[in-house]
Amino acid sequence: MNKKYDVIVVGELNVDLILNKIDGFPEIGKEKLAAEMTLTLGSSSAIFASNLSALGAEVAFLGKIGKDQFGELVMESLRRKGVHTELIIQDEKLNTGATIVLNYDEDRAMITHAGAMEHLTLHDITAGKLSLARHLHFSSYFLQPGIRKDVGALFALAKRQGLTTSFDMQWDPAEKWDMDYGNILPSVDIFFPNKQELIELTGRVNMKEALHALGKTNTIVVKMGSEGSVLWKDGQDFSLPAFLNNEVVDAIGAGDSFNAGFIFKYVSGAPLEECQRFGNLCGAVNTTAAGGTTAFTNYRDVLKIARERFGYEE
Ligand X SMILES: Nc1ncnc2c1ncn2[C@@H]1O[C@H](COP(=O)(O)OP(=O)(O)OP(=O)(O)O)[C@@H](O)[C@H]1O
For 85, phi then psi, to 5°, come to -110, 5
**258 is a site residue for ligand X (CB under 6 A):** yes
Contact pick of 225, 249, 270, 304 for ligand X (by CB under 6 A): 225
Residue 77 or 229: the one with the smaller Cβ distance to ligand X is 229
Q: Which does 60 bind (CB under 5 to 8 A by kind): ligand X, Mg ion, none?
A: none
Full 3-state SS string of the chain:
CCCCEEEEEECCCEEEEEEEEECCCCCCCCCCCEEEEEEEECCHHHHHHHHHHHHCCCEEEECEEECCHHHHHHHHHHHHCCCECCCCEEECCCCCEEEEEEEECCEEEEEEECHHHHHCCHHHCCHHHHCCEEEEEEECHHHCHHHHCCHHHHHHHHHHCCCEEEEECCCCCCCCCCCCHHHHHHHCCEECCEHHHHHHHHCCCCHHHHHHHCCCCCEEEEECHHHCEEEEECCEEEEECCCCCCCCCCCCCHHHHHHHHHHHHHHCCCCHHHHHHHHHHHHHHHCCCCCCCCCCCCHHHHHHHHHHHHCCCC
Residue 16 or 58: the one with the smaller Cβ distance to Mg ion is 16
C-alpha–C-alpha distance, residues 119 and 19, integer Å: 28
Residue 45 or 131: the one with the smaller Cβ distance to ligand X is 45
**255 is a site residue for Mg ion (CB under 5 A):** yes
Inter-residue contact 285 to 257 (CB < 8 Å) = yes
Residue with CB nearest Mg ion? 255
In angstroms, what is the C-alpha Rg of the chain? 19
Stretch that binds ligand X, among 26-34, 59-67, 183-191, 251-259 (CB under 6 A): 251-259
Stretch that binds ligand X, among 12-20, 33-41, 245-253, 300-308 (CB under 6 A): 245-253
Contact pick of 228, 264, 267, 291 for ligand X (by CB under 6 A): 228
Please give the size of the binding site for Mg ion, defined by CB under 5 A: 1
Residue 53 or 280: the one with the smaller Cβ distance to ligand X is 280
Residue 77 or 140: the one with the smaller Cβ distance to Mg ion is 140
**229 is a site residue for ligand X (CB under 6 A):** yes
Site for ligand X in 259-298 (CB under 6 A): 280, 283-284, 287
Residue 187 or 287: the one with the smaller Cβ distance to ligand X is 287
Q: CB burial class (10 A; 0-12, 13-18, 19+) of residue 148?
A: middle
C-alpha–C-alpha distance, residues 47 and 53, integer Å: 10
| Binding mask of the shown chain, residues 215 to 254, with x at each position contacting Mg ion by CB under 5 A | ----------------------------------------
**51 is a site residue for ligand X (CB under 6 A):** no
CB of 297 to Mg ion, least distance (A): 22
**224 is a site residue for ligand X (CB under 6 A):** yes
Q: Which does 51 bind (CB under 5 to 8 A by kind): Mg ion, ligand X, none?
A: none
Q: Which does 243 bind (CB under 5 to 8 A by kind): ligand X, Mg ion, none?
A: ligand X
Contact pick of 84, 134, 135, 223 for ligand X (by CB under 6 A): 223
Residues making contact with ligand X (CB under 6 A): 194, 223-226, 228-229, 242-245, 248, 251, 253-256, 258, 280, 283-284, 287
